[in-house]
Structure formats: C-alpha cells, structure tokens
Amino acid sequence: MGKMNELNGTNRWANWGLIVCVAWCIALPMNQTAAQTPVASEQERDLVVVPMDAPNPARRAEGASRGGALSLPFFDDFSTPSMPGVGFEGFEAYQRWEEGSARITTTYSLNAPTIGCATLDGLDRTGYPYNFVEVNTPDWADTLTSLPIALNGYFPQSNIHLMFYVQGGGRGNAPEPGQDELVLEFKSQDDVTGEVIWTEVWSTDSVSTDAFERVFVPVDQFQWLDNAFQFRFRNWGALAGNVDLWHLDYILLDDQIDPLTFEVQSEVAIVEPVNTFLRQYTRMPWNHFTPNPAFYMRDSLVMEQRNLSPSQADNIESGFSIAFNGGEATYPSPFQNTNVLPEAPFTTPIYLGNNPQGEDFVFDTGVSDTTATFDVAVWQSSIGLLHTEKVGVPDNDSITFQQVFDIDFAYDDGTAEKAYALTAAGGKLAMRYALEVPDTLLGLAIHFTPYYNNADDETFLLRAWADSSGLPGEELGENYQFHTPEYFTDGFDIFAYYPYDDPIAVEGTIHVGLVQGSEVMLNFGLDKNTNANAGQLHYQLGLGGAWLNSDIQGTVMIRPVLRAGMADSWVAVNEGQEPGAFQVFPNPVTQGELNIQVVSAANWTLYDATGRVAQQGAWTQPGLHTINLTSAPRGTYILADEMGRRARILVQ
C-alpha cells in the first residue's frame, strides 16, 4: 500500500479463486462479509486469524541491546533457526536477527533459492493481525532487523554490498503493485545528539509473485561504517492478517562484492520441504499402521533442489536418516546426481519401496505397541556458502521432520496457507478416511481461522457417516451438542479438539465432518502444499442437496481422533458424573481452580480429550481438594482416581 494513500476497499480484490456450485465464478472484495455472498458455495480464501495487541512500535526503533557485533560476512538462508522466538532455545549461536515480527516459513514462497525464507505480512509476532477492526487502514507492519554488525575499519571503497533475493506473494496473498511496499533501511547515529537514524536505501512496490529477484544495495557511506551498523526490512500494507506477503532469502552482507561480476560459488540447496514418508497420510494411528506397514509407505519421493552457482555441479550424493529413542540409521541413495546444469533447478529421487539396489524401507513396528515418533532427515551432499560453520543443526542441504504415529489421521502438513469456507446455512463438510482396523471415533481436531468475520459465535454440529460408493452415506451416531470455532492466542496453525457426544464404533471407510448452522463462513485452515481434497473432501449445500466433490486444490485441516488401542481411555464415561463419583465444582471451570470433594485418599489422574495424561497427583486424606487449571488449554478433560471414580470436566 502506498505510504500516504488510503486503502480503497471496493478496489481491493482478494486472490480467492471462488468456485461456485452452479458453474459460474464470482470475486468478492476483501471487506465483504459472508452475509453478502449471493450464492452458496465452497470458497478458498486468504488466511487471517484473531487479533492481538500490536507490539510497541518504540521497540522496533531500538537497536540491539545485547551481545557483541557480528563480523563480516553476515549470511542467512533461513534454513536454520536464526530469529528468537518459540523453540529458539539451543540455537543462540546462529542468531542473526533481533526479536521481531517476521517469521521463517518453508511453504509460503514459490521457487525459492533455498529452503526457508523470512516472510513479512500483516500479522504481528504472536501470529495475529495488527488491526482486526480497521481492515482498510494500511500502515507499517512486520520488521526484520539484523543484529549489530562490525563495519569499523572498512571504507566506502571496500565495496560492501547487501545482497538478497525477494518475492511477493508466492503461495499466499500477493502485494498489490503500486500500493503495498517493502522497504530496506540502514541505521546510523547522529554524532552530536546520539539520535538513531534509519535511512531508506531501497524499496519496491512490485516484484514477481512466483519467482525471486536478486538485489544488491551498497553500504558506501561513512555514517554506516561503524561497529553498531544494522539494517532492517519493513513492509507497508494491510494490517488485517496474512496478506500482502513478502519473502526474503539468501541474505548476504560482505565486502569486495561487485554486482556486475558477483557469482554464488558452490551452492547446491534443497528448496522444498518433505513432510511424510507415508503414501497418503502425514500422520496416522500406530495401531492402524502396524498390521500392514508396507501398504502405507511411499515407494519413493522427489527431493527438489537448485544449483545456485554458475558452474556445473557433479556427483551430488543423497539419502535419508531415521532416529528413534537415541538410535539412528542412515540409508544412502545408491545413485549420484551428476552433471547438474549451472543456475538450474533439478530433482533427485529418494527410494523407500521398490528400491532398485537395496531393501525396501518401512518404519520398525517393533519399537512400540501404542504410539511412536521417528525423527527423519532427508539430505544431500553438503555444498554451500559457510555450510561448515553450521554443525549439528539443519542446513539447506537437509530436511528434517517428525513422522508421528499417534491416535489421529492427517492428510495436511499442519500449515494453512489459505482458508476454506462454505456459504450455506445447513452446509455439510465431510472428509473421507480409510481405517485399517475397527476402532472408536472420539472426536475431531479442526484448525479454524477467522477471515475478517470472527465466527466464534457461530455454531456447528459434529457428524460422521458410513461410506456409500465413495460418498457419505448413513449417519453414524447421534450428535446434538453445539460447538463453536475456537481460536488461539499462542501461535500459528493450532488445532482445537471437539468430542462427539458419545464415542462411535467405526470400521472400514468413514467420512467425518460437520454441519454448520448458518451461511456465515467458518473458515477452515486450507493446506496448499498437499491436495487431499481431490477425491477425499465432499460438501453439501443445504438440506436435501447432493454431495459434491470439492474443486478447490489443497487439504482442509480436519483430523479424526480415535481410541487407537489406547488402554487408558475415557470413552466409556457418560456426560456428567457417574454414580458414586466424587463431586467437582465449578464445572465448567474458567481456567482456574477446580474443587474436588473426595471421601477417601487416592491417587488421581487428569486426562485430556485425546486420552493423554495432563496432570497427576494424590489425595492424602478425605475432604476438599483443588487442582490448578489456570494454564490448561480449553476443552474436555476426564478426572479419574485409582478407585475407578470418574468425572468429566469442561475447561472454558
């Protein structure tokens, strides 16, 4: 958005690609509400989430206040955690940036130079819009600020340049040319007053949405050549969510750089993530995998790579490694990728099943009888700028992920690049899953995201159906409890858990989903890096309508949660308290103290809705006791003691 211009809502059109069931297309302004939608439909929408207070702008103007200055070369390809935040512990040696509002992503950009980018958008550092109310008011949004860099002793003739690659949009919402803007600023300090000065040295309001452009900016003024030099990127645009995206990659600050002759030397990088070794799912229950593991394994996968250097790359080795409970096994590929063209993308097959020169790989089913999590790494030869300085952490020559076998099925990879919605009162949504063994369906894990219209007052009912020739058939169970979308304030892509009124015995192929109460869009997370919607997702627009195949590419983020052979499960507990159970109050409890009146001493366990242990303890004597649920996530819990007494607790 232009810095001094006001965003015109009637001219700002979302990049939604709306598919209407009557075979005609419409496009809605971004500020149009669901109630204004003229025809019931399924829709793909850009992702926006619930707001939180924006960070203090004064903090963004401050320089780094801790640590020594970094020396040249300054480099980050965002393949390793380099920004402070959740999960940063242990990576302090690789910090390159102040704590800020930009974030590292691996799925939002297209055709990135290397895996991992810094993404700037309209969300603050907690993952929520800067301004959820005034959706048409543009302003400064995210900031990416380097740590101080020691440039004292260099001169304007030292040919110091900042090089970086930039893209607008990618798989997400693209900035509008001529309106939205990305700015680069250099920091200096007034010698007399000590005032910090940020000087704009480069900006763009229009870059490619599906390719990266390389930029060089000189650092050739004396006011920047000190030991407190910093640079920062800021984006100007909409503040209402995950819109107007800018992606940065392969940022290098060094001396003796001539933009006319500079070449990246010996850099071969992986550019896209791998999220599963399973044929169809990204995660599944362990007891459904173990009876027929070979069936659920992929035969092979394709690793997407790029040669950034101007010379041919030869004999690139690859393979994968698996770690579980401290043990690790490595499986080198029997093939080498030879004669890779200069500055070109290429792919390498990684064989799991049908391996031409080795045994088929399957996850070891003997390691556990309940759940299992394997740490997986897919790698290539270590060829890259400064790669030898990153030891024991992921680099752009490896992809790491966890293959989780728990009590739920998932097609999606856990990231929502867009949102999906139905615009019909009584609209039904159903995702199909094939079960290996008979089981008990407990509930659904759903990722909701509000898109301008906050739907937390809207209602829906859970549903499950048997299969009828690939479509939802007979309804399973009776579910009359109303639910509402839940949004969270502690990160991105969080799933809410919704239990069925009663556990449902299921087998074979089932369809799970819901029916919504009104035409207001509930906005489910839509993962654009997988495409289980094709063939698995069906929807029905109102009572008596036909079940339709989804035409929107991606995967709606709805996951069934099953008992999955877990022995300690609360599936037999009825609503409320069983006869003879201890007394609990208040119930529901609003994330505070839960009171329990007991008649005898006993050990107790609090289970969450998936059957996992949330808390444990002991009542040493009869009487009134308390359990602190202040930090417990909202949802349903079961309190049980060793005497077999149980009570259902609802935390709001």
CA distance 5 to 14: 19
What is residue 424's predicted lDDT score, i.e. its pLDDT? 92
- Are the beta carbons of 342 and 314 closer than 8 angstroms? no
Average pLDDT over residues 205-210: 90
Tell me the range of 7-11, 436-440, 450-454, 615-619 where mean pLDDT is highest.
436-440
CA distance 16 to 34: 14
Token pair for 136: 């048409």
What is residue 439's predicted lDDT score, i.e. its pLDDT? 96
pLDDT, tens digit (0-9, with 9 covering 90-100), for 226-243: 999 999 999 999 887 778
Is the pLDDT reported for residue 131 higher than 90?
no
Average pLDDT over residues 458-478: 96
32's CB contacts (< 8 A; 6+ apart) are: none
Is the pLDDT reported for residue 420 higher than 80?
yes
DSSP strands (E only) in 412-553:
418-422, 428-434, 439-446, 460-468, 471-475, 496-506, 509-516, 524-527, 537-540, 548-549
Burial class (CB in 10 A: 0-12, 13-18, 19+), 192: exposed
DSSP state, residue 359: P
Burial 366-384 (b: 16+ CB within 10 A, else e): eeeeebbbbebbbbbbebb
What is residue 385's predicted lDDT score, i.e. its pLDDT? 56
Give the HSE-up count for residue 185: Cα atoms under 13 Å, Cβ half-sphere. 20
Is the pLDDT reported for residue 450 higher than 80?
no
pLDDT, tens digit (0-9, with 9 covering 90-100), for 155-179: 999 999 999 999 999 988 889 998 9
What is residue 257's predicted lDDT score, i.e. its pLDDT? 95
pLDDT, tens digit (0-9, with 9 covering 90-100), for 24-69: 222 233 333 333 334 677 877 544 332 223 333 332 233 333 347 9
Among the listed residues 34, 9, 93, the one whose alpha carbon sits nearest the alpha carbon of residue 419: 34
What is residue 608's predicted lDDT score, i.e. its pLDDT? 77
123-127, 418-422, 515-519: which has the minimum mean pLDDT?
123-127
269 versus 88: the higher-pLDDT residue is 269
CA distance 214 to 113: 10
pLDDT, tens digit (0-9, with 9 covering 90-100), for 330-344: 888 877 788 889 889
Is the pLDDT reported for residue 552 higher than 80?
yes
What is residue 205's predicted lDDT score, i.e. its pLDDT? 94
% of the chain residues with pLDDT over 70: 83
What is residue 10's predicted lDDT score, i.e. its pLDDT? 24
CA distance 300 to 349: 7
What is residue 54's predicted lDDT score, i.e. its pLDDT? 31
Is the pLDDT reported for residue 255 higher than 90?
yes
What is residue 577's predicted lDDT score, i.e. its pLDDT? 39
Token pair for 524: 């489910």
Tell me the range of 48-52, 160-164, 346-350, 385-389 where mean pLDDT is highest.
160-164
Which residues sit opposite 603 in a β-bridge? 618
What is residue 167's predicted lDDT score, i.e. its pLDDT? 96
- CA torsion through residues 527, 530, 536, 541, sign: positive
Average pLDDT over residues 571-577: 35
* Strand pairing report for 398-406 and 283-285: parallel
What is residue 129's predicted lDDT score, i.e. its pLDDT? 78
Average pLDDT over residues 136-140: 84
What is residue 451's predicted lDDT score, i.e. its pLDDT? 64
**DSSP H or E run through 168:** strand 161-168
pLDDT, tens digit (0-9, with 9 covering 90-100), for 390-417: 545 567 888 889 999 999 999 999 988 8
DSSP string, 31-96: T--GGG--S-EEEEEE------PPPPHHHHHS---SSPPB-SPEEE-SSS--S-STT-TT-GGG--
450 versus 606: the higher-pLDDT residue is 606
- Are the beta carbons of 485 and 85 closer than 8 angstroms? no
Burial 61-86 (b: 16+ CB within 10 A, else e): eebbeeeebbebebbbbbbbbbbeee
What is residue 384's predicted lDDT score, i.e. its pLDDT? 61
CB atoms inside a 10 Å sphere around CB 628: 11
Average pLDDT over residues 499-514: 96
Is the pLDDT reported for residue 574 higher than 50?
no
- CA torsion through residues 76, 79, 81, 85, sign: positive
Please, what is the average pLDDT of the chain? 82
